[in-house]
Amino acid sequence: MEETGFSLDTLRYYERIGLLESIGRNAAGQRRFTQKDVGWLGMVRCLRDTGMPIAEMIRFAEMTRAGDHTVRDRIALLEAHDRRVQEQVENLREKQVAIRNKIAYYHSVVD
Protein backbone atom coordinates (compact mmCIF):
# COMPACT_ATOMS: atom_id res chain seq x y z
CA MET A 1 0.00 0.00 0.00
CA GLU A 2 1.49 3.31 -1.12
CA GLU A 3 1.30 6.34 1.09
CA THR A 4 -1.09 8.15 -1.15
CA GLY A 5 -3.81 6.98 1.20
CA PHE A 6 -5.27 4.48 -1.24
CA SER A 7 -5.48 0.80 -0.38
CA LEU A 8 -3.69 -1.67 -2.60
CA ASP A 9 -7.04 -3.01 -3.76
CA THR A 10 -8.12 0.48 -4.71
CA LEU A 11 -4.91 1.04 -6.66
CA ARG A 12 -5.45 -2.23 -8.53
CA TYR A 13 -9.03 -1.19 -9.22
CA TYR A 14 -7.91 2.22 -10.49
CA GLU A 15 -5.42 0.55 -12.79
CA ARG A 16 -8.04 -1.84 -14.17
CA ILE A 17 -10.49 0.88 -15.04
CA GLY A 18 -7.85 3.01 -16.72
CA LEU A 19 -7.52 5.76 -14.16
CA LEU A 20 -3.85 4.83 -13.80
CA GLU A 21 -1.78 4.23 -16.86
CA SER A 22 -0.27 0.73 -16.75
CA ILE A 23 1.97 0.75 -13.71
CA GLY A 24 5.43 -0.79 -14.20
CA ARG A 25 6.34 -4.12 -12.59
CA ASN A 26 9.58 -5.47 -11.18
CA ALA A 27 11.01 -8.89 -12.09
CA ALA A 28 8.53 -10.62 -9.77
CA GLY A 29 5.58 -8.89 -11.40
CA GLN A 30 4.97 -6.50 -8.50
CA ARG A 31 3.89 -2.92 -9.09
CA ARG A 32 6.62 -0.34 -8.88
CA PHE A 33 5.17 3.15 -8.52
CA THR A 34 7.36 5.84 -10.02
CA GLN A 35 7.54 9.40 -8.79
CA LYS A 36 5.30 10.32 -11.71
CA ASP A 37 2.71 7.73 -10.65
CA VAL A 38 2.75 9.06 -7.11
CA GLY A 39 2.28 12.60 -8.40
CA TRP A 40 -0.70 11.57 -10.48
CA LEU A 41 -2.17 9.73 -7.51
CA GLY A 42 -1.90 12.97 -5.55
CA MET A 43 -4.03 14.62 -8.21
CA VAL A 44 -6.49 11.72 -8.14
CA ARG A 45 -6.76 12.02 -4.37
CA CYS A 46 -7.40 15.70 -4.66
CA LEU A 47 -10.14 15.29 -7.26
CA ARG A 48 -11.75 12.34 -5.46
CA ASP A 49 -11.80 14.14 -2.13
CA THR A 50 -13.55 17.06 -3.73
CA GLY A 51 -16.22 14.77 -5.15
CA MET A 52 -15.27 14.30 -8.77
CA PRO A 53 -16.86 11.10 -10.10
CA ILE A 54 -14.44 8.42 -11.29
CA ALA A 55 -15.79 8.56 -14.84
CA GLU A 56 -14.79 12.20 -15.08
CA MET A 57 -11.36 11.53 -13.63
CA ILE A 58 -10.87 8.90 -16.30
CA ARG A 59 -11.68 11.46 -18.98
CA PHE A 60 -9.14 13.77 -17.38
CA ALA A 61 -6.57 10.94 -17.24
CA GLU A 62 -7.13 10.22 -20.93
CA MET A 63 -6.65 13.87 -21.82
CA THR A 64 -3.48 13.97 -19.79
CA ARG A 65 -2.13 10.98 -21.72
CA ALA A 66 -3.26 12.37 -25.06
CA GLY A 67 -0.76 15.23 -24.94
CA ASP A 68 -0.45 18.97 -24.82
CA HIS A 69 -3.22 19.74 -27.28
CA THR A 70 -5.71 18.81 -24.54
CA VAL A 71 -4.49 21.39 -22.05
CA ARG A 72 -7.30 23.82 -22.81
CA ASP A 73 -9.89 21.10 -22.26
CA ARG A 74 -8.21 20.12 -19.04
CA ILE A 75 -8.40 23.73 -17.87
CA ALA A 76 -12.10 23.79 -18.71
CA LEU A 77 -12.71 20.56 -16.81
CA LEU A 78 -10.83 21.74 -13.74
CA GLU A 79 -12.48 25.14 -13.79
CA ALA A 80 -15.91 23.53 -13.93
CA HIS A 81 -14.89 21.31 -11.06
CA ASP A 82 -13.55 24.25 -9.09
CA ARG A 83 -16.94 25.94 -9.42
CA ARG A 84 -18.63 22.81 -8.09
CA VAL A 85 -16.20 22.72 -5.17
CA GLN A 86 -16.99 26.35 -4.48
CA GLU A 87 -20.70 25.55 -4.44
CA GLN A 88 -20.09 22.63 -2.12
CA VAL A 89 -18.24 24.87 0.32
CA GLU A 90 -20.96 27.49 0.24
CA ASN A 91 -23.68 24.92 0.64
CA LEU A 92 -21.91 23.29 3.57
CA ARG A 93 -21.41 26.61 5.31
CA GLU A 94 -25.08 27.46 4.86
CA LYS A 95 -26.23 24.11 6.23
CA GLN A 96 -23.74 24.40 9.04
CA VAL A 97 -25.43 27.57 10.21
CA ALA A 98 -28.75 25.72 10.36
CA ILE A 99 -27.18 22.87 12.32
CA ARG A 100 -25.62 25.29 14.77
CA ASN A 101 -28.95 27.04 15.20
CA LYS A 102 -30.52 23.71 16.01
CA ILE A 103 -27.80 22.98 18.54
CA ALA A 104 -28.33 26.41 20.09
CA TYR A 105 -32.05 25.78 20.25
CA TYR A 106 -31.51 22.44 21.97
CA HIS A 107 -29.19 24.12 24.43
CA SER A 108 -31.87 26.66 25.21
CA VAL A 109 -34.30 23.80 25.87
CA VAL A 110 -32.01 21.81 28.09
CA ASP A 111 -30.49 24.55 30.24
Contact positions vs DNA (CB under 7 A): 1, 7-10, 12-13, 16, 25, 27-31, 48, 53-55
Q: What's the min distance (Å) between Cβ of 94 and DNA?
A: 19
Q: How far is the CB of 47 from DNA (least distance, A)?
A: 10
* CA gap 17, 26 in Å, rounded: 21
DSSP state for residue 20 in the 8-state scheme: S
Distance, in Å, from the CA atom of 28 to the CA atom of 48, rounded to the nearest integer, reads 31
Nearest distance in Å: CB 43, a second copy = 7
Q: 52 φ, ψ to 5°?
A: -75, 130
Which residue ranges make up the site for a second copy (CB under 8 A)?
43, 46-47, 49-50, 68, 71-72, 74-75, 78-79, 81-82, 85-86, 88-89, 91-93, 95-96, 98-100, 102-103, 106-107, 109-110
CB closer to DNA out of 38 and 104: 38
The alpha helices in the chain, defined as continuous H runs, are 8-16, 35-49, 54-66, 71-110
Partners of residue 25 on adjacent β-strands: 31
